[in-house]
């Protein structure tokens, strides 16, 4: 279970719990701070508050290890090497996942420069899914995808949720929020979240 | 060892070459005449002053005055490093990082050469210590400036890539490595270019000066080789310390990228002209 107590980052101040095998859909207007919240939970920006995973304080865990367990996936993933496979610790193990996401198995040698936005988004997600994290913080993970690819992503994440992964899924798509979320949080202008009925 | 002494009046005729540059600027409307005039006056005043200061220091042979002169040189070098940054570190480290790394690298290498190769008597004799320090400082400063500039700009530009690596559980060292490598390459490149071209494309200033002063060319070459080795060592050490130190300052103990520790680009100026200036090097 992920416990977020009095997490403060700029104007954001929130407390909530995320159970294992649960997906919280996170909605709110653009610029309200949804990404900031997800990044703060992953400890990518300075923030205050007590964040615990299964009762263990985040500060007691080395940051790289924390992020392998509580993984943030950006809407526009970054790339630090030239080819796709250089971004995976075990490319051969990732091929089935990549194939499920609709990309050919030989895309490992593709140059990052030639990837479309949608391909980048799916590969960014595949890269994070390979970590088998306890918690996934998905920041608009299907914003650049067509309906078919979106459905594939939703089904893969649903399998992870069924196997116990906790997910916070930020989306502007209300229909998607209702499809994927077991709870719905709406973030307001003041940086507070309210739980809404699904 | 004899050399042809110059008087100030001997310099009047060559100075007309600079006047010619000014005239060209006026005719071609380059708008460089004001900068050219200021630079020329600064050069003349600074060099003449340095001449008198060095004359005093060489006569005094005092550890205090030599150390003070070296300290002032390091302060000016660190100021130059800061001025050449498009994006500067905030707070104490604005000057602290450049000054610390310059002092560490140039000081270490200068001491090394004085104590192991040149053995002047006394070891801090300003006739050897200050010119050596000056040449090493100038090149170390260039390496550090370029390295830090590429580091800060690279981290701003590659923020998404660095944070993607961090988000997947990479350490700050793993995440910064591509940018660190670029910064180190940039810092080393002027020295490597200078070493490769020296003697073929250019005769270095120090060697030319010694030859004009009557030193046998092969002896001047030996001095120049010593200087080049020292410059390579000083630049390598200084750039490495500055880039690794900069990388550490721009991340924190929780392996977060801290771009909030960089001041915004105050001018938005293009830095490429300074790089061109750096690549020429000075030996």
pLDDT of A53 > 50? The answer is yes
pLDDT of B259 > 70? The answer is yes
Do A42 and B167 make contact, defined as CB atoms within 8 angstroms? Answer: yes
Nearest-Cα residue of chain B relative to residue A42: B167
- Choose from B160, B168, B177, B178 for mutation: most chain A CBs within 10 A: B168
Indicate the pairing of strand A2-9 with strand A70-73: unpaired
- Cβ B211 vs Cβ B223: under 8 Å: no
Do B171 and A74 make contact, defined as CB atoms within 8 angstroms? Answer: no
Compute CA distances B279 → B105, B186, B190, whole Å: 20, 10, 5
In terms of phi and psi (left: phi > 0; alpha: psi -120 to 50; beta: otherwise), the region of A185 is beta
Q: How confident is the model at residue B1 (pLDDT cuts 50, 70, 90)?
A: low
Nearest-Cα residue of chain B relative to residue A76: B160
pLDDT of B273 > 60? The answer is no
Do B158 and A80 make contact, defined as CB atoms within 8 angstroms? Answer: yes
pLDDT of B84 > 50? The answer is yes
The whole-number pLDDT of residue B266 equals 59
Q: How confident is the model at residue A167 (pLDDT cuts 50, 70, 90)?
A: very high
List the single residue in B161, B252, B255 with the smallest CB-CB distance to A78. Answer: B161
Q: How confident is the model at residue B272 (pLDDT cuts 50, 70, 90)?
A: very low
Nearest-Cα residue of chain A relative to residue B175: A80
pLDDT of B279 > 70? The answer is no
Do B171 and A79 make contact, defined as CB atoms within 8 angstroms? Answer: no
The whole-number pLDDT of residue B267 equals 55
List the single residue in A46, A76, A131 with the smallest CB-CB distance to B168. Answer: A131
In chain A, domain spans: 2-80+120-196
The whole-number pLDDT of residue A197 equals 79
Do B163 and A74 make contact, defined as CB atoms within 8 angstroms? Answer: yes
Helix (H, G, I), strand (E, B), or coil: what is residue A80? coil
Task: List the CATH code of the domain at A2-80+120-196.
Answer: 3.40.50.300
- Cβ A185 vs Cβ A195: under 8 Å: yes
Nearest-Cα residue of chain B relative to residue A45: B256
Compute CA distances A185 → A26, A41, A49, A102, A172, whole Å: 5, 15, 19, 30, 12
Which pLDDT tens digit goes with each residue over A84-102? 999 999 999 999 999 999 9
pLDDT of B270 > 60? The answer is no
Helix (H, G, I), strand (E, B), or coil: what is residue B156? helix
Determine the average pLDDT of the residues in B202-217. 86
pLDDT of B274 > 50? The answer is no
Mean of all residue pLDDT scores within chain A: 95
Give backbone dihedrals phi and psi of A75, rounded to 5 degrees, phi first.
-65, -35
Distance from CA of B244 to the nearest CA of A (A): 19
pLDDT of B280 > 70? The answer is no
pLDDT of A103 > 90? The answer is yes
- Cβ B174 vs Cβ B251: under 8 Å: no
Which pLDDT tens digit goes with each residue over B167-190? 999 999 999 999 999 999 999 999
Largest CA distance in chain B: 69
A vs B, Cβ pairs < 8 A, gives: 65
Distance from CA of A2 to the nearest CA of B (A): 17
Q: How confident is the model at residue B5 (pLDDT cuts 50, 70, 90)?
A: confident
Q: How confident is the model at residue B282 (pLDDT cuts 50, 70, 90)?
A: very low
Residues of A in contact with B254 (CB under 8 A): 43, 63
Determine the average pLDDT of the residues in B211-236. 92
Compute CA distances B267 → A64, B83, B94, B141, whole Å: 36, 11, 16, 21
Determine the average pLDDT of the residues in B205-219. 89
Percent of chain A with pLDDT over 70: 100
Q: Which two tokens stand for residue A147?
A: 């309906």
Bridge partners of A13, per DSSP, are: A8
Q: How many Å apart are CA A77 and CA A141, to the nearest integer?
A: 10
Bridge partners of A52, per DSSP, are: A3, A57
Q: How many Å apart are CA B219 and CA B233, to the nearest integer?
A: 21
pLDDT of A174 > 50? The answer is yes
Nearest-Cα residue of chain A relative to residue B253: A63
Do A77 and B169 make contact, defined as CB atoms within 8 angstroms? Answer: no
Burial A174-195 (b: 16+ CB within 10 A, else e): eebbebbbebbbbbeeebebee
Largest CA distance in chain A: 47
Kindly report the number of other CB atoms within 10 A of residue B196's CB atom. Answer: 10
pLDDT of B283 > 90? The answer is no
CA geometry: angle at B37 spanning B31 and B39, to 5°?
105
- Choose from A63, A121, A168 for mutation: most chain B CBs within 10 A: A63
Which pLDDT tens digit goes with each residue over B127-165? 999 999 999 999 999 999 999 999 999 999 999 999 999
Determine the average pLDDT of the residues in B226-235. 94
| B34 vs A: CB within 8 A | no
Determine the average pLDDT of the residues in B25-54. 94
């Amino acid at each position: 279970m992920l416990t977020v107590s009095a997490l403060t980052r700029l104007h954001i101040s929130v407390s909530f719990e995320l159970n294992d095998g649960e997906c919280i859909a996170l909605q709110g207007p653009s610029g309200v701070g949804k990404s900031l919240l997800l990044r703060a939970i992953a400890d990518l920006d300075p923030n205050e508050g007590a964040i615990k995973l299964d009762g263990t304080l985040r500060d007691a865990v080395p940051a790289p290890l924390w992020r392998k367990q509580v993984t943030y996936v950006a809407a526009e993933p970054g790339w630090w090497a030239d080819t796709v496979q250089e971004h995976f610790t075990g490319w051969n193990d990732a091929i089935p996942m990549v194939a499920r996401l609709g990309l050919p198995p030989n895309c490992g040698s593709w140059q990052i420069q030639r990837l479309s936005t949608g391909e980048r988004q799916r590969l960014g997600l595949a890269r994070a899914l390979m970590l088998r994290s306890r918690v996934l913080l998905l920041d608009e993970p299907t914003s650049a995808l067509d309906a078919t690819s979106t459905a594939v992503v939703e089904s893969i994440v649903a399998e992870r949720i069924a196997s116990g992964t906790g997910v916070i899924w930020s989306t502007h798509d209300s229909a998607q929020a209702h499809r994927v979320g077991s709870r719905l949080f709406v973030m307001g202008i003041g940086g507070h979240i309210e739980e809404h009925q699904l | 060892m004899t050399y042809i002494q110059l008087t100030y009046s001997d310099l009047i005729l060559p100075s007309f070459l600079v006047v010619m540059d000014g005239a060209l600027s006026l005719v071609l409307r380059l708008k460089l005449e004001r900068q050219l005039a200021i630079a020329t006056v600064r050069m003349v005043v600074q060099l003449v002053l340095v001449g008198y200061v060095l004359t005093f220091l060489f006569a005094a042979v005092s550890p205090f005055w030599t150390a003070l002169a070296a300290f002032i040189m390091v302060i000016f070098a660190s100021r130059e490093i800061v001025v050449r940054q498009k994006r500067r570190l905030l707070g104490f480290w604005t000057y602290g990082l450049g000054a610390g790394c310059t002092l560490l690298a140039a000081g270490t290498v200068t001491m090394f050469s004085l104590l192991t190769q040149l053995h002047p008597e006394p070891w801090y004799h300003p006739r050897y210590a200050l010119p050596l320090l000056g040449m090493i400082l100038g090149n170390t400063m260039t390496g550090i400036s370029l390295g830090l500039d590429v580091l800060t700009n690279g981290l701003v530009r590659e923020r998404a890539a660095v944070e993607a690596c961090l988000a997947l559980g990479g350490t700050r060292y793993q995440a910064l490595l591509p940018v660190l490598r670029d910064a180190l390459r940039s810092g080393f490149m002027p020295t490597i270019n200078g070493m490769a071209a020296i003697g073929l494309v250019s005769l270095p200033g120090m060697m030319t000066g010694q030859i004009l002063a009557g030193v046998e060319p092969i002896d001047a070459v030996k001095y120049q080789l010593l200087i080049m080795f020292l410059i390579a060592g000083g630049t390598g050490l200084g750039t490495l310390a500055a880039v690794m130190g900069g990388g550490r300052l721009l991340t924190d103990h929780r392996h977060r990228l801290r771009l909030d520790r960089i001041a915004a680009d105050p001018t938005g100026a293009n830095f490429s002209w300074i790089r061109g200036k750096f690549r020429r090097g000075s030996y």
